Structure 1
Amino acid sequence: MKNIGVEKGLTNVADYLKNQGYTVQILSENIENNIAKYDNLDVIIAADYNTNMMGFADTSTKIPVISASGLTAEEVKNMIDQKTSK
């Protein structure tokens, strides 16, 4: 089961992924609230409301980050499958 972190505000994507069988965790805007979740995530879905979703412009992660901006929930799911099938 893939564990997906979804930035707050992407309710339609989170709901779609849950219906597709993914485990979804909503990520808050506050990085301190998210740190404990990162080790268990396979992918992070960013809303792209701002360019530094995690509160830091220089934040990097080993977890793939997918920008949902301009994508349908199904397109986001397809990108998750591509990123995690490797």
Structure 2
Amino acid sequence: MKSVAVEQGLTPVKEYLQQQGCQVVDMTGERQQPGVCAVVITGSDKNIMGIQTVVNNVPVISADGLSPEDVYQRVKEYIH
């Protein structure tokens, strides 16, 4: 299964995704790790464009206002 990169500070989301069988990696913000199918960000940083340039055509999911379950549903859309 492809990995999901999760921004620091989203521990409940990270733990829920792992419980659902997702391979979760920490988002470093420097270079995209191979095999990552989506990136989950806190949404508190309004400069999403800067993040998207790092991600290179990988969907960016803002966790702002979403439960861990909601984030997982969005991630599933990109995994399948």
Using the size of structure 1 for normalisation, the TM-score is 0.78
Bigger relative contact order (CA 8 A; separation at least 6) = 2
Pair 1:7–1:20, CA change in 2 (3 A): same
Task: Please list every run of at least 4 consecutive aligned residues from structure 1 whose deviation after the TM superposition is greater than 4 angstroms.
Answer: none
Q: Report which of the two structures shows the higher radius of gyration computed on alpha carbons.
A: 1
Counterparts of 1:1-86 in structure 2, within 5 Å, are 1-28=1-28, 31-32=29-30, 35-37=31-33, 39-52=34-47, 56=50, 59=53, 61-85=56-80
State the identity as a percent.
Answer: 33
Using the size of structure 2 for normalisation, the TM-score is 0.83
> Secondary structure at 2:36's aligned position in 1?
coil
RMSD of Structure 2 on Structure 1 (CA): 2.1
Gap regions ≥5 residues in structure 2: none
Aligned residues: 79
